[in-house]
Amino acid sequence: MKGFLEYVPGDSLLHKMNPVAKLAVSLLIIFACFITQSFVALIAILVLDYAFAAHCKMMPQTVGLTKAVAGFSAILALIALFTVPAGAVLAPLPWGYIGTGSILAAVRIVLRLVACAIPLFLTFYVTKINDISNALVKVCHVPYRYAFVFSSTVHFIPVFMNDMSGIMEAQTARGVEFDGGFAKKVRLMVPLCVPLLVSSVRKTNSAAIAAEVRGFNLRTRASGYKEYPFAGRDVCALALACALFAASFLV
C-alpha cells in the first residue's frame, strides 16, 4: 500500500480528469457540505464520495480516512453535544441541556467533516502533486512560488510522518511509554515535538537552498512543457458539481 497522500497510479475517470477540474469539483462538494443542513443531503454526498472511491479503487484509503476524520470530529461532536442546547430535553446540564437537537448537531458535524474530507483526499491520491501545482500555474495563473509552497507542503507530509515514527522509536527505546492517560500524552508531546520541529526546520531550510541553487527564481509560467487542457468530462464534472452546490442552498 502507498503512503499517506501518495499518488496511486490508475486509469479511472478521476485519474484522467484535469487536475484543476478535480480540485474545483472537490471544493464545490466541500462548500455544499458546509452549506446544507439536511442529513439526507450529507448522506447522499457521503454515498457519492464512496462511489468515487470505489470507482478509482481507493476504498481501503477512504475507509482509513473516514475512521481518522470521524475520530477527530468526535471531539468537536462532543463539544457540540454539551454546548448546543436544542430540541427536546434529554439531560439537563448546569449551563443548559442536552437535547435531541444537540445529538443531531453532533452527528451532523461528524457526517459533514467526513463527507467534505474524502473528495479532497481522493484528489490527492489520484493526481500527482506536481501535476496539481503545474496545472494551477498553467490554468489558474497562480504564481509558481505559491504553487511550489503547496506541492512541497504536501510532499513533506509523508516525510514528517516518517520522521515522527523514527522519533517515536528513538524515544520508546529510551523507555518512554506512549500509551497512558491524556495528561501523560500531553507531557510526552515535548520529546516528540522538539525533535520534529528541529528536523523539519533543517529539512525545509535544505530544500529551500537546494531549490534556490537550481534556479527556482528563474521559473515562469512558460517553463513547464506539459499543458492541461479541459476535456468534455471535466466540463461535465464541473457542471454536476455546480448543480450540487446550487442544490445545497435549497435542501
Partner 1 sequence: MIRFDHVSAAYAVQTPVVRDASFTIDNGEFVAFVGTNGAGKSTTMRLCNGLLKPTAGRVLVDGVPTTELRTSDLARRVGFLFQNPDRQICCKTVREELEFGFRAQDALTDEARARVDATIERFGFDANAEPYLLNRGTRQLLALASIIVMEPDTIILDEPTTGLDFHECEKVMGAIADLHTRGKTIVMVCHDMEVVADYAERVIVMTAGEVVASGPTFEVLRQRAVLERAGLIAPQVVDVSLRLVERHPELAGTPIATANTLDEMVAAIEAYAAGAKEAAR
Measured distance between the N- and C-terminal CA atoms of the chain, rounded to whole angstroms = 39
Burial of 5 (0-12, 13-18, 19+ CB in 10 A): middle
Nearer to partner 1, 67 or 145 (CB): 67
- Residue 168, all three cell numbers: 517515536
The total number of residues shown for the chain amounts to 251
Cβ atoms within 10 A of the Cβ of 86, count?
16
Nearer to partner 1, 201 or 240 (CB): 201
Nearer to partner 1, 40 or 173 (CB): 173
**Residue whose cell numbers read 520522521:** 163
Please pick, from the candidates 195, 207, 233, 251, the single residue that binds partner 1 as defined by CB under 8 A: 195
Phi, psi of 174 (to 5 degrees): -95, 0
Task: Round to whole Å and give the CA distance between 120 and 53.
Answer: 11
- Contact flag: residue 94 with partner 1 (CB under 8 A): no
Binding segment for partner 1 among 44-52, 92-100, 193-201, 216-224 (CB under 8 A)? 193-201
CA angle (72 as vertex; 77, 78 as ends), nearest 5: 20
CB–CB of 33/73 below 8 Å?
no
Please pick, from the candidates 47, 54, 63, 198, the single residue that binds partner 1 as defined by CB under 8 A: 198
- Contact flag: residue 200 with partner 1 (CB under 8 A): no
Nearer to partner 1, 169 or 212 (CB): 169
Give the closest residue to 108 by CA, choosing from 165, 44, 38, 52: 38
Task: Round to whole Å and give the CA distance between 214 and 223.
Answer: 14
State the minimum distance, in angstroms, from the CB of residue 71 to partner 1: 21
State the minimum distance, in angstroms, from the CB of residue 198 to partner 1: 6
- Contact flag: residue 214 with partner 1 (CB under 8 A): no
Of 153-182, binders to partner 1 (CB under 8 A) are: 163, 166-167, 169-177
- Residue 60, all three cell numbers: 481501503
State the minimum distance, in angstroms, from the CB of residue 158 to partner 1: 14
State the minimum distance, in angstroms, from the CB of residue 181 to partner 1: 14
Please pick, from the candidates 78, 93, 140, 194, the single residue that binds partner 1 as defined by CB under 8 A: 194
Nearer to partner 1, 88 or 190 (CB): 190
Torsion of CA 200, 205, 210, 214, to 10 degrees: 130
Size of residue set near partner 1 by CB under 8 A: 21
- Contact flag: residue 183 with partner 1 (CB under 8 A): no
Residues that bind partner 1 (CB under 8 A): 1, 163, 166-167, 169-177, 190-192, 194-195, 198-199, 202
